[in-house]
Amino acid sequence: MGFQYYYLKIYDFLDTIFFVLRKKYNQVTFLHMYHHIGMVYIGLMTMKYAPVAQGVMVITLNCIVHSIMYFYYLLACINTDYKKSVWWKKYITQIQMVQFIISTIHFMVPILDPRCTYPMLASIIFVPQNVFIFYMFAKFYVKSYIKKNQ
C-alpha cells in the first residue's frame, strides 16, 4: 500500500502543473506547495523508514478526503454552476482540517503509549507537521470563508 500511496501523492502534485499551465498563479500558494511537496517527502520517508500499519488509517482517511475533493472538481468541470457554489469548497476545507486533527491524535499514540511499536521518530516528525498544516489550512479557511463574508 505504501508505494501506491506515494505515487498517488506525486499524482496529486499534478494539479500544481495544471494551475501553472492555466496561468492560475494565485492558486500556487505557499500552503499549496508546502502541502504537496511535504506529502511526497513524507510518503517517501514513511515507505522507507516506517512502513507499518499505523499509517494505514491516515492513508485511508487522506484518500477519502481526496476522493471528496476530486469529486467536487469533477462536478465543477462538468457544470460551472458548481464552481460558483462556494459552500462546497468551504466544507471540503473543514473536512481536510478534521483529517489533520484525527491524524495528529493518531500519531500521538506512539508518543504517549510506550507499548506502541510505531517508530517514535516518525511520530515526533508527523505530529508537528500535522499541527502546522492544520494551522495553515485554518488560516486559509478564515481568510477565504470568514473574513471574506464579513
pLDDT of residue 141: 94
Residue 77 pLDDT level (bands cut at 50, 70, 90): confident
**Which of these is catalytic: 32, 35, 66, 106?**
35
Q: Which domain holds residue 45?
A: 2-146
Mean pLDDT, residues 3-28 taken together? 80
Is 35 a catalytic site residue? yes
pTM: 0.81
- Domains contained in the chain, number: 1
Rg (CA), the chain: 16
Distance (Å, rounded) from C-alpha 82 to C-alpha 58?
A: 29
Q: Taking Cα atoms as reference points, which of 140, 104, 4, 14 lies closest to residue 63?
A: 4
Output the CA torsion sign for 37, 39, 44, 46: positive
Q: Side chain identity at 114, as an amino acid letter?
A: P
- Using one digit for the tens of pLDDT, what is the confidence trace for 84-107? 766 778 899 999 999 999 999 999
